[in-house]
Amino acid sequence: MDVQIQKWKKEYGDIHTIWFGDQAIVTLHDIPTILETFVKDGETYAGRPRQKWDDIIREGNNGVVVSEGPKWRENRRFALHVFRNLGLGRNIMQERVLVEVTSFITDIKDEILNGKQKISIQDTIDISVGSIINNLTFGYRYGKDKKDEFQHVKQFATTLVSQFSNPIYRLMDRDPEYYKKFPICNSYYKYFSAEVQKMKDFFYNLIDEHRKAINLESNEDPTDFVEAYLRQQHKLKMEGGVKENENNFDDAQLYATVLDLWVAGQETTSNTLAWLCAYLIQYPEVQQNLHKELDEVIGNDRIITLDDKSDLNYVNAVIAETQRYCNLGPTNLFHR
């Protein structure tokens, strides 16, 4: 799809319309217009077009990715506050990441020592990224005893992302209940609805287990996002701050937010790192230059930290070029 979009850009210019089923989407392709629209005038275009599949997946206007309005603003603000308290952008977050980096390196070395000739870097990247996300959301990482659980969540995230570009998914998006009357669409509706229900059951079960395991009235700092959210729920209930039909902190919103964190964090981060590995294989001279800079700046007796970032110009350039060039998605999320 990304190749076709580039062809349309050359043929129709930097601003043109693409039809997704019966939905017209105006697409922007030049940096000045994108900056003017989504940065300087971002509030005007902060809304999201309602997609019926999103309502089914997230049980309405829930989550922080495709939702909008007061509920979105309040939950986005709360999520940012919680993640800052959990160490986002500070050394405590770096420590969480370095735990997974160390585990990643150990796993690769163990596979080499065990004589494996072919090693899937992608699998190790996936579980490392998943562990960081799950540690932030539910408070635990994926050790060897939790790998099956990770595979379940990974499969959910992969299924969702892969279906976004499915022609039948796009065709039915305006009204799945109507289109399911047709044979091909009906089969797809049954398949996708079953996958969504399995995903909901899984995450709601984790949330219920977490609710039973924590002290909702504790004054200690929460250790993960779900604990912080459940405590906020309890606090609002005890203070009488929840009006009927105006609960911005219900379980559906929590489920959808956890899902958004997983889908947005797992697939994008894992795939970016996978693209980086693929590019380094194709350009061994770049890999050699990376090693040279790391040897000169870091040496071989310690691990890299954020404090080293300003001294690793070539590493930063390679990462930035990977993010620019890799194909995470042909389009951004829709705005209105």
31-60: average pLDDT: 88
Vertex 78: Cα angle to 224 and 130 (nearest 5)? 40
Which residues have a Cβ under 8 Å from the Cβ of 158 and sit 6 or more positions away? 267
Tokens describing residue 101: 């980096």
Give the separation between CA 156 and CA 12, rounded to whole angstroms. 37
Q: What does residue 15 show for φ and ψ, rounded to 5 degrees?
A: -130, 115
Quote the DSSP letter at residue 333. Answer: P
Sign of the four-CA dihedral 122, 124, 128, 130 = positive
Helix (H) or strand (E) holding 188: helix 183-213
Q: What is the pLDDT of residues 170-218, one digit of tens each?
A: 888 888 999 999 989 999 999 999 999 999 999 999 999 999 999 998 8
Give the separation between CA 174 and CA 131, rounded to whole angstroms. 35
When the pLDDT of each residue in the chain is averaged and rounded to a whole number, the result is 89
Q: CB–CB of 225/83 below 8 Å?
A: yes
Give the separation between CA 221 and CA 228, rounded to whole angstroms. 8
Nearest alpha carbon to residue 50 among 160, 164, 175, 157: 175
Please state the pTM of the whole predicted model: 0.87
Q: What's the pLDDT at 145? A: 86
Give the separation between CA 14 and CA 246, rounded to whole angstroms. 42
pLDDT at 245 over 70: no
Tokens describing residue 290: 């990376």
DSSP state string for 36-79: IIIIITGGGG------HHHHHHHTSS-SSSS--HHHHHHHHHHH
Task: Name the band, by pLDDT with cuts 50, 70 and 90, for residue 45.
Answer: confident
Nearest alpha carbon to residue 139 among 232, 223, 251, 258: 223
| Residues above pLDDT 70, as percent of the chain | 97
Give the separation between CA 328 and CA 199, rounded to whole angstroms. 23
Q: CB–CB of 237/273 below 8 Å?
A: no
Q: CB–CB of 52/176 below 8 Å?
A: yes
34-54: average pLDDT: 86
Task: Name the band, by pLDDT with cuts 50, 70 and 90, for residue 241.
Answer: low
Please report the domains of the chain, with CATH numbers, ordered by start residue.
1-45 (no CATH), 54-268 (1.10.630.10)
pLDDT at 220 over 70: yes
Task: Name the band, by pLDDT with cuts 50, 70 and 90, for residue 272.
Answer: very high
